[in-house]
Chain A
Amino acid sequence: MRYITFALAKGRLAKNALALFEQIGITCEEMKDEKTRKLIFVNEELGFKFFLAKPTDVPTYVEYGAADIGIVGKDTLLEEGRELYEVLDLNMGKCRMCVAGPESAKEKLKHHELIRVASKYPNIAKDYFYNQKNQTVEIIKLNGSVELAPIVGLAEVIVDIVETGATLKENGLGVLEEVCPLSARMVVNQVSMKMENERISKIINDLRAVIPKD
């Protein structure tokens, strides 16, 4: 039997996904040990391998077939735009991709004005402004603390993930427009889906039954 390899986005998502897997009988004891320095974990009995990767790398591993299945946020999938099968919405880690900024910036989104948009997600930001709003904008790629940009005058608005909106509020910013809803997804390599159809379809169907409903 060939191994089926899972790439999990590091962090809370991986933990929640593993809990979900446990419900359908896919376990990996090795992985629960928080002190371990191992990079790859194996369940010999079921023929599964697991590894953790930086979220933005998960679609890459899966596209190239280094991993058969990936668990990753929709935000990363949109930003990376890889050729994958997106087979399941795990309905967890739910949040929204939003345009945010000070109240005063609201007006600037209405008139196709050339504005500056700071984001960790330049592709999502570009697609939203160019293709959905038809507004020409300057995209500024940042790597963290994007909220800072409108405050210090680097950009008029930002495009970022909003969960509760608390960070925005504390800094005098707010959600101006919603780009799209986000949640965790299961993605599958196109060839794996075909070559290992039976095993992977079983995982998908089992998961469908245990995914939390709204």
Chain B
Amino acid sequence: MKEALLHTPEGVRDIYGEECREKQALIENLTNACRLYGYDSIQTPTMEFFDVFSKERGSVPSNELFKLFDRYGNTIVLRPDMTPSIARSCAKYYSDHILPIKLCYHGDTFINDNKYYQGRLKENTIVGAELIDDSTVEADFEIISMVIECMKSSGLEEFMVEIGSSAYVAGLINAAGLDDDAKEEIVNYMQDKNYTGVEAVLKSLNTDKEISTALASLPQLFGSVEILDRAEKIAENAESQAAIKRLRDLYKLLKITGADKYITFDLGAVSSHAYYTGIMFHAYTYGTGEPVINGGRYDKLVGQFGKDKAAIGFSVNVDRLLIALSRQGINLESEKKGALIVYHNDDQSRTVYVADQLRQQGIPACMITYSDAKNEDQYIEYALNSSLKYLILMPDLEDDFDIEKIGSVKVKLIDACQKTGQETEIEKILKGALR
């Protein structure tokens, strides 16, 4: 074996077997959750021009993008995030659309994380949805409901969705009249929920006393719905007040469907995504140290590619969600089905026919040749690993085939925990086929 050729580059990996099946099942469940709300599919390319993900639009700094050059010398990047791509293609293909656009997608994103994380994944599969050209609170509600639907559809029971508002924070920061440096410093500290850091910056500046007390209390401004009352009191500027009203309206809608039990608020949340303009949210669960779903409203992004359109969306980090599921012992694999047919070399024609008949009935059939060196247990293990439910050992064809011998064809249910009575069906097909 050529050892050096076995490895994948740092941050990417092979996914195979049960894990791969689970991942595909998860993607399907998540996509179905989006379909439930009438979202249509879209695919955008893995590569885009660098400028699509510039500082104003991007979610990651330029040095964390994978870059290549096309033959004209343009800088091309592997997409680090789906949202700007969707915004771009909306501006391109849906510019004369008069009704809201609802799209969902799945694809891989690439971030060249250059921190200390060796082996941390740089390629991540994302499932997401975007609702474009709808600025109403009902749109916010729809997207939050879909986030909850996605979490449920993956089999999770314990999770929460935390909602913040970039408009609320922006209102306070603007009211404080900070310069860009101070703004950036404060935002950085708020991201770390660093109470002391925010206080220290404010002390060094001469900001309005009331506003600086409000800013200083932001890192603690998270929790259940009551936190909105406190948030409303401390920020008197119109922008922040409007943001709180919006959150209340949203919460009212969520109460109708009972989704409010999954909701908490974080008014001190600031995002590294420069494009968010309204609500922002994260979905958390046990088993992973980071949120599994991120999203928010980005009313100014589509406009950067063409006509202004309000928009909101979310993305599920499928790989991270998969890890959380496995750590919580939640198994997503769909029911095993189909049969492994083990046949003797001289029995091809009969086996090919049997397998074809099974497949025509929609029953998966996997063929392998019999070997003296293997025993039945090994075949069973092979079948189970391939997610098959039955083992069919074709009889030796030493004698000419005789209709009476059908009885010696063994159909064996090997995954006993999933009895469905399909073996009678398979037996029927076998008998029919062999006649």
Are B222 and A80 interface neighbours, CB within 8 A? no
Q: Does A25 touch B at the CB level, under 8 Å?
A: no
Interface 0/1 of A188-214, CB less than 8 Å to B: 111101110100010000000000000
Q: Does A64 touch B at the CB level, under 8 Å?
A: yes
Central interface residue in A2, A85, A86, by most chain B CB within 10 Å: A86
- Chain B residue contacts of A189, Cβ below 8 A: 289
Are A85 and B291 interface neighbours, CB within 8 A? no
Are A65 and B288 interface neighbours, CB within 8 A? yes
- Chain B residue contacts of A201, Cβ below 8 A: 220, 223
Contact partner, A194, options B162, B194, B196, Cβ 8 Å = B162
- Chain B residue contacts of A64, Cβ below 8 A: 289
Contact partner, A191, options B193, B219, B223, B289, Cβ 8 Å = B289
Q: Does A172 touch B at the CB level, under 8 Å?
A: no
- Chain B residue contacts of A197, Cβ below 8 A: 222-223, 264
Q: How far is the CB of A22 from chain B (nearest CB, A)?
A: 23
- Chain B residue contacts of A194, Cβ below 8 A: 160, 162, 222, 264, 266, 282, 284
Are B115 and A84 interface neighbours, CB within 8 A? no
Using a CB-CB cutoff of 8 Å, which residues 39-97 of chain A contact chain B? Answer: 63-65, 80-81, 83-89
Are A86 and B290 interface neighbours, CB within 8 A? no
Distance, CA A194 to CA B192, complexed state (A): 13
- Across the interface, name the chain B residue whose C-beta is closest to A193: B193
Distance, CA A188 to CA B192, complexed state (A): 9
Interface 0/1 of B261-292, CB less than 8 Å to A: 00010100000000000000010111111110
Contact partner, A87, options B116, B195, B266, Cβ 8 Å = B195
Q: Does B197 touch A at the CB level, under 8 Å?
A: yes
Instruction: Count A/B pairs, Cβ under 8 Å.
Output: 55
Are B193 and A86 interface neighbours, CB within 8 A? yes
The tally of residues in A whose CB lies under 8 Å from a CB in B reads: 22
- Across the interface, name the chain A residue whose C-beta is closest to B192: A86
- Chain A residue contacts of B286, Cβ below 8 A: 2, 191, 195
- Chain B residue contacts of A85, Cβ below 8 A: 192-194
- Chain B residue contacts of A89, Cβ below 8 A: 196
Central interface residue in A87, A190, A191, A201, by most chain B CB within 10 Å: A191
Distance, CA A89 to CA B196, complexed state (A): 7
- Chain A residue contacts of B197, Cβ below 8 A: 86
Interface 0/1 of B336-364, CB less than 8 Å to A: 00000000000000000000000000000
Distance, CA A184 to CA B120, complexed state (A): 28
Distance, CA A44 to CA B266, complexed state (A): 31
- Across the interface, name the chain B residue whose C-beta is closest to A183: B196
Distance, CA A85 to CA B270, complexed state (A): 13
Are A191 and B192 interface neighbours, CB within 8 A? no
Distance, CA A190 to CA B289, complexed state (A): 7
Q: How far is the CB of A97 from chain B (nearest CB, A)?
A: 16
Interface 0/1 of B136-168, CB less than 8 Å to A: 000000000000000000000000101000000
Using a CB-CB cutoff of 8 Å, which residues 163-194 of chain A contact chain B? Answer: 188-191, 193-194
Using a CB-CB cutoff of 8 Å, which residues 205-225 of chain B contact chain A? Answer: 219-220, 222-223
Are A65 and B160 interface neighbours, CB within 8 A? no
Interface 0/1 of A18-42, CB less than 8 Å to B: 0000000000000000000000000
Q: How far is the CB of B113 from chain A (nearest CB, A)?
A: 11
Given A80-B116, A197-B223, A191 and B284 touching (CB < 8 A)? yes
Contact partner, A195, options B160, B193, B196, B266, Cβ 8 Å = B160
- Chain A residue contacts of B222, Cβ below 8 A: 194, 197
Q: How far is the CB of A203 from chain B (nearest CB, A)?
A: 13
Using a CB-CB cutoff of 8 Å, which residues 81-118 of chain A contact chain B? Answer: 81, 83-89
6 smallest beta-carbon distances between A and B, as pairs = A65-B289, A85-B193, A89-B196, A86-B194, A86-B192, A191-B284
8 example contacts (A-B, Cβ-Cβ < 8 A) are as follows A65-B287, A80-B116, A85-B193, A86-B196, A191-B286, A195-B285, A195-B286, A201-B220
Q: Which residues of B contact A (CB under 8 A)?
A: 115-116, 160, 162, 192-197, 219-220, 222-223, 264, 266, 282, 284-291
Known interface pairs A64-B289, A188-B193, A194-B282; 10 further A-B residue pairs with C-beta atoms within 8 A, sorted by A's residue number: A65-B287, A65-B289, A81-B115, A84-B192, A88-B195, A190-B291, A194-B222, A195-B286, A197-B222, A201-B220
